[in-house]
Structure 1
């Protein structure tokens, strides 16, 4: 035993331990959640926990959201994950951290499912709009599939406590797994930073076109009126959807599907005449010294069947790509038809009839997608052969039978009229809208639509919302709120960081390996850079004697400064006791 302090506290050096307390990106995540008042908001919408409850459901939900944001762990791994952090950074006490387990988190999801999540989501979205000053004049909507593994025989969508969870079912899988059941996640984001504004989890066989009316009505209630432009993919272009929005004073913008009659009319118009194309956008191409990326616009000569405006857009890049794709299909079809022709010339060819040859040629054209521009002309050359009817040496009375031999030949003929017709509309696609906005604004608004795809990628790739491993449909529904909150944290961090870079005149940050520049930082990369940060604690008999805060490097300091996270957030949260025995 050695006396080591003026307070005459005796410490056994052999009992000293060094413990690492992870910090990582939690202060950044906490800054967003604190700004939204997330923990208090969730607690306000969940019922008051029983006095015997050692861990309130709202606190368990808060831990799950933080875990999903910085590094997904399964429910049974939350205890080990939380044990590496100081409890205060997770909004917990030491006793609450000890009580955290998969059973507690599962029961917390049950409580969240039975709560008024619709009102909770509305309150959260309103706080996001007001506290981050979001611009909500343009809202983008899209859906994606959430894959499930298992039969889910008990997940029938039966209502519980008056709330019906979405029903897992097979549907159109955007993950290309039609063999698996799924749920449909419907997400709406702002054009301002692609920040998620609202979401909904629907049955796995839900058709996209049937979701827009409910989504738009929800947005009207959330924003406070229909004074925004609702932008979605071509599934929005149905009479019911467009009439509902336009009839209630709303604005919409979408792409007209190829299956609509107006699309064919427009392409015939372009093939038969010369539209008055007007350049609406021009920017440097993606390749160095490559051609510029140019967009033109032309108003269709007639409106849609519903009376809405149609505006055609032509892209120089898409025009080149469409022509190259068509030529490639034609060449592949001609090459395969030539191979079939050589096969027909072989003595052991199995295609003996004209119908069999024509079917084989049609299959090639269908497989290559060139049936519109290439046709296969089959010619049949007949030769005759005489063979004696019976065996033996032929004589003057020998009877012969006449045998016909068919020699088929295939020639690939390009339909030049069809090629010229389609070439006239290469690179063209039609917008349908009820607004009178200039074509340049329509193009600008719709070109922000792919940003929601990146949110889906974060949702399923980084936060790992899919595949879902839970088998309780109610808990899956409740977990979707936690996943949405984690996605919201990612989006707000990215928006704040990029705005700070613009304000401070910083074109890029050296976030990639070898200090390579990053012009549009993601929250995922920010978390990776901050992940190594940890405090070091000296522990004696399970009591913390002292804690040393981590040392931030230049890049880490710059990141938290731009995100307006105070340096004190990385200081120790635990207070060492004055006496340790």
Structure 2
């Protein structure tokens, strides 16, 4: 008797783990509550469809709409079992996904959904952060007259490309996105902070938060508005708000060795501080009284602490760069009077001085290099020849000599690396070291921007042309970014509580361990998990690739039940 066997295979990978976290965040439920489609909507709900789409984005790192339908076809059983109802490819056609973007583009509804999502996430994951960070980034797109996509200052160093600007706030210490706003590419950063802070305040439902931003947030009106709501700020002051002359006056006692700044050491990951550690910075603090009107026009008066900090690493880098520029300038200056074929000679001392000034300006080392210009005069007698009488010939050669001015250079080096930060926190609430540590964690929001525009979520390059849909897509990707941040936070928190590390997630390095794994590394560990559908003489059997020890441990650290994978074969 012959046996007929047919088999099909479906990649499962990291899809179940992703969907579990989307369910924990109540994404589908909240979307269905705040976005009501019209009566013609059939099949999977708007929220359920969006969850499947987010699973595609997180698993594949691709936001293109037309790629989703064939992906659903290839993962239909996995998606249906994880979602809890039948998922068909027609539920995720590119037309339906575009319609979802149209719904998400309604600002009022998105704002209400985002607030509800934040409250749900903060409660479910027991997050008690009191610090919010704010910053902006840009994404290149297609130019549109009078639209969102405009030429402006590019955070990606491509001012030649039209762009859209994204303003975002995140919650410390995990970098969880709280609010997202999309504006035209040429919009200045300064006016974006207060609306974003107001949205954070509304989502958190409380005051007393500390807002950390760059010098664009340090506008006096912005600081006054934060004070008016009993909140706090920490931001560096720009050269306009803290002129060089004023900073020189503050640093004068330090540079004269009349005052010794405090050594600043950063706490370890567990919060402990070791006084034997090498300091990362030196600093001092002083207080000023400020008064300015808030947005309502009411005058606000408060005490502001100025943290004057010298980062030792920054100062070392700046010193190295400065000395290299000085060395290059000295080399070029000393070569000015060298004779070389095809090289014009210096005509006089004025021309030499002008050329020397240009070199000093090019290397930005004016006052740090001593330049001496002289003229060598040589006379000799040219003997008589035939009827030509003997004559005295006079020749002149302009000489340039340069050397670094070590006294001025040493003084300039001591001035490097200083920056002033402003806060309305008291010294008891935010010490000098705590202020430095808080601002140094600004990489958290930059890491989120890197994920948003990098391989993880692939916002750029943008393939959509409709402005409303681009705005909605960025908002949708902010949900995906939340998933990446939360998975990473949960795993690292569980590793820290167990005082353990995780190994087996580095390709080609099975013995390498880490206590700080990224979500991308964790999800990659599930590549190759496959669901097989085997039919033997009409009898259907499902088989799932057995999860290895590392995968099981990752699921435990993620707080994802093993049953989510086991349920695919039952």
Q: Normalising by the residue count of structure 1, what TM-score does the alignment of the two structures yield?
A: 0.83
1:266 matched residue in structure 2: 250
Instruction: Provide, for residues 145-176 of structure 1, a one-character-per-residue CA deviation record: whole Å limited to 9, x for no partner.
Output: 1122x3334xx33xxxxxxxxx1111111111
Give, in whole Å, the separation in 1 of the partners of 2:309 and 2:44. Answer: 57
Corresponding position: 1:294 with 2:294: no
What's the CA shift for 1:359?
4.7
Q: Which moved more, 1:117-126 or 1:78-87?
A: 78-87
Give the 3-state SS of the residue equivalent to 2:338 in structure 1: helix
Aligned to 2:491: 497
1:75 and 2:65 correspond: yes
- In 1: Cα distance, 2:381 partner to 2:218 partner: 67
Asked if 2 retains the 8 angstrom alpha-carbon contact of 1:271 and 1:422, the reply is: no
State how far apart, in whole Å, the 2-side matches of 1:469 and 1:367 are. Answer: 42
Q: How does 1:47-446 map to 2 (within 5 A)?
A: 47-51=36-40, 53-54=42-43, 56-73=45-62, 74-85=64-75, 86=77, 87-88=79-80, 91=83, 96-114=88-106, 116-148=109-141, 150-153=142-145, 156-157=146-147, 167-259=148-240, 260-261=242-243, 262-281=246-265, 292-300=278-286, 308-342=304-338, 348-349=343-344, 352=347, 357-374=352-369, 376-380=371-375, 407-436=397-426, 437-446=430-439
- What is the DSSP-based 3-state SS (H/G/I as helix, E as strand, rest coil) of the residue aligned with 2:425? coil
Residue pair 1:88, 1:573 contacting (<8 A) in 2 also: no
Per-residue deviation, residues 325-362 of structure 1 (Å, max 9, x unmatched): 3222211221222233426x767416646665445434
Aligned with 1:511: secondary structure?
coil
> Using the alignment, how far apart are the partners of 1:303 and 1:372 within structure 2?
36
Q: 1:354 to 1:117 in 2, by over 3 A?
A: farther
Judging changes above 3 Å, is the alpha-carbon distance between structure 1 residues 89 and 258 closer, same or farther for their aligned structure 2 residues? farther
- TM-score, normalization: structure 2? 0.85
Of stretches 179-188 and 321-330 in structure 1, the one that deviates more from structure 2 is 321-330
- Partners of 1:90 and 1:419 lie apart in 2 by 66
How many residue pairs align between the two structures?
A: 538
Unaligned runs of 5+ in 2: 269-275, 293-302
Q: Matched residues in 2 for 1:327 and 1:271: separation?
A: 19
User: Structure 1's 119 and 95: CA in aligned 2 closer, same or farther, altered over 3 A?
Assistant: closer
Using the TM superposition, give the Cα deviation of residue 427 of structure 1 relative to its aligned residue in structure 2, in angstroms.
Answer: 3.7
Partner of 2:554: 559
Query: Which structure 1 residue ranges, 5 or more long, are not aligned?
Result: 3-12, 158-166, 285-289, 576-581
- Partner residue of 1:44 out of 6, 9, 33: 33
In the alignment, what sits opposite 2:541?
546
Q: How far apart are 1:38 and its partner, in Å?
A: 0.5
Contact 1:137 1:229 in 2 (8 A): yes
RMSD: 3.2
